[in-house]
Structure 1
């Protein structure tokens, strides 16, 4: 009897260990998508849902193109049903402007990379939206400095949330800026080295190649292609990686850069298709690419004079970038002229930079703000 009593804690621990393992196996969102594709004059919505025996099943629906904004696109989470939300498709998609006035409030985030829960927590904690995904940031601006894709497990949901909030923000006088990063360009152009295996398997189950899901004949593909590589928002130049000295020398306006680069978002792996080699500079790796450059943080580092040249060229006070994780992010560099905001979202470092009434703060998922 005494032996059995002594074994009970061990048995309990064993049961707890088994339950934790079981929960781990069952954890994660089993839904994927939805993906909206345009085929044969119709709109096709495909998605992955939990199937029988813990498997997955593909579901496909077809709708006429007319009145597509009346068709609800539902994003579901099998592990968090309370997180589900519905998206209204935009009737038309237009390319984003390159310049905006200075807002009183601005929240800058980057490198979400499919970490939907992190994005959700950040937006709730900083009162950008409420629990029902309604925009609550008023006339404030939310800026995503690139990298929606890869590494995380809820990439489509992350993109759809931004797609939804973009519309809501405008109705409240605010704005959502989605600026593309290297992982976004990689996925559009066929560089899928960081894509999670589940997305390839799910695409096959739905009857597609993965690259078809974000092609130019899909809603998310069209939406992403309407976004910019760099924007001026008041006193801030916002982009993913940085402006190399070689780019300064081109003396191009932001509008020229965005309009010239947009046709090549899905051709970044094919330099031979760039008839104008000047445009190739914007895609040419860490040497000069707006979405690959690391010269603010890694050697050979840009000089402060070169940073000043960028500020002078685009008439801004600071440059806001993601892409490169450092121990001192979220933080200022070059005497306050560069603001680095990339943190490792995958390891639980969920932070961003908030501008409010002339002051900058480092913010996280608790709502607390520390002055930068």
Structure 2
């Protein structure tokens, strides 16, 4: 009969073998599309900000207020993902400063383990086309003149950032088991995300500048179908001989090589200009929204473009959120940001797998915070 020390040694040996087996099984589970269970519990904080329109002062106030940056304008580390939905350019003089700051923040976020998702708004596209109706003469001077400005937003520093780091649409999963930001929905059939039960399979948000119209035919796979069209058109615009800006010269329009898909993309029903979710009758909007959420594999659509000037607008129980409040001094609207806090916790009992999601979406203003969504749901099954 083993003595106490021998028995203790046997117990330690078995425990070591048990944990070694778990360690060795994790890569196998991952290779088969299963996330290691210790990684399932998760929390994340996301901040999204709408149109900034040439005002770096108000932009910094908003990002500091939302704890994206510190008082020196540096990445704070208090946010996991920062999203900006486009229209940084026009109506102000801070174009160079704002786009430079965004790229600095992107690098700082990456070093700190965070992420930035940036989008081109209709005003970025207008400038790429040569439609300068909302460009201030004083802003052109900050570039050193028309030719220098055209060069910088086509193949220069700003234009290269647009091509490399900006998309038209984004799909942001709330949990990494759904994949990385901008991985397509529907997911690959044999992936872990492809086996998740609803509602967890749709635990993601879409971001776009204008809106994802229910009649827009290139929603799937989301977001790559939309973004591929955008990349193609942007490349054609940036690498053509730059037209003389309108006004005072005639409107140049899209390149002669632009495809029908690219014309639809830039049209009033495309993702850059569509305003239906913000302006259409509530009953119509809430009747149509679910079909778009289903196609994009998301719970909520978040967009800018249509300003309210007083508050962030939530429609259909938070399925649609419009975050343009006229932050720039050109509008004099409300300084605002959207904050999302998400957690998924293991609350299983001895007999069944059980997970609890909590999703809190808030509109953050200078002197107040308004809760737009506060939802908790239980999910059953081995995920």
Calculate the TM-score normalised by the size of structure 2: 0.64
TM-fit CA distance, 1:164: 0.3
Partner of 1:296: 277
The residue that corresponds to 2:225 in the other structure is 256
Give the structure with higher Rg (CA): 2
Distance 1:289 1:304 in 2: 19
- Superposed displacement of residue 210, structure 1: 2.8
Matched, 1:247 2:220: no
Task: Give the superposition deviation at 1:148.
Answer: 0.6
May I ask how many residue pairs the two structures share in their alignment?
265
Matched, 1:113 2:50: no
Cα separation, 2, equivalents of 1:274 and 1:300 = 34
Q: Does 1:229 align with 2:168?
A: yes
Report what 2:65 is aligned to: 125
Residues 28-107 of structure 1 mapped to structure 2, 5 A cutoff: 104-107=44-47
User: Which of 318, 323, 333 lines up with 2:300 in the alignment?
Assistant: 318
Of 326, 330, 334, the residue aligned with 1:349 is 334
Q: Using the alignment, how far apart are the partners of 1:300 and 1:371 within structure 2?
A: 23
Any conservation in 2 of the 1:225–1:262 contact (CA below 8 Å)? yes
Which residue in the other structure is 1:210 paired with? Answer: 149
- What is the DSSP-based 3-state SS (H/G/I as helix, E as strand, rest coil) of the residue aligned with 2:293? helix
Partner in structure 2 of residue 274 of structure 1: 258
Unaligned 5+ segments in structure 1 are 1-101
Shift of 1:249: 6.5
* Distance (whole Å) between structure 1 residues aligned to residue 222 and residue 361 of structure 2: 27
Return 139-148 or 250-259, whichever deviates more. 250-259
Aligned mates of 1:211, 1:123 — CA distance in 2: 29
The aligned counterpart of 1:283 is: 266
Over aligned residues, Cα RMSD in angstroms?
A: 2.3
CA–CA separation in structure 1 for the residues paired with 2:256 and 2:287: 34
Whether the 8 Å CA contact 1:181–1:229 is kept in 2: the answer is: yes
Residues 253 and 297 of structure 1: CA distance in aligned 2, closer, same or farther (over 3 Å): closer
Q: Residues 186 and 328 of structure 1: is their aligned pair in 2 closer, same or farther, counting only changes over 3 Å?
A: same
Tell me how far 1:127 sits from its aligned partner: 1.7
C-alpha distance in 2 between matches for 1:249 and 1:149? 27
- Pairwise CA distance, 1:304: 2.5
TM-superposed deviation, 1:290: 0.5
Aligned counterparts of 2:131 and 2:360: Cα–Cα separation in 1: 39
Q: Report if the CA contact (8 A) 1:103-1:140 is conserved.
A: no
- How is 1:333-348 mapped onto 2 (pairs within 5 angstroms)? 333-345=315-327, 346=329, 347-348=332-333
* SS in structure 2 at match of 1:273: coil
1:361 matched residue in structure 2: 362
Aligned mates of 2:258, 2:280 — CA distance in 1? 28
2:336 and 2:364 in contact (8 A); partners too: yes
The 8 Å contact of residues 310 and 325 in structure 2, kept in 1 or not, is answered as no
* 1:236 to 1:250, Cα distance in 2 relative to 1, 3 A: closer
TM-score scaled by length of structure 1: 0.66
Q: How does 1:115-154 map to 2 (within 5 A)?
A: 115-138=55-78, 140-154=80-94
The Cα of 1:306 is off from its aligned counterpart by: 2.5
Q: Distance in 2 between matches of 1:162 and 1:327?
A: 23
Contact 1:113–1:150 (CA<8 Å) still a contact in 2? yes
Tell me by how many angstroms 1:199 deviates: 2.8
1 CA distance for matches of 2:299 and 2:152?
Answer: 39
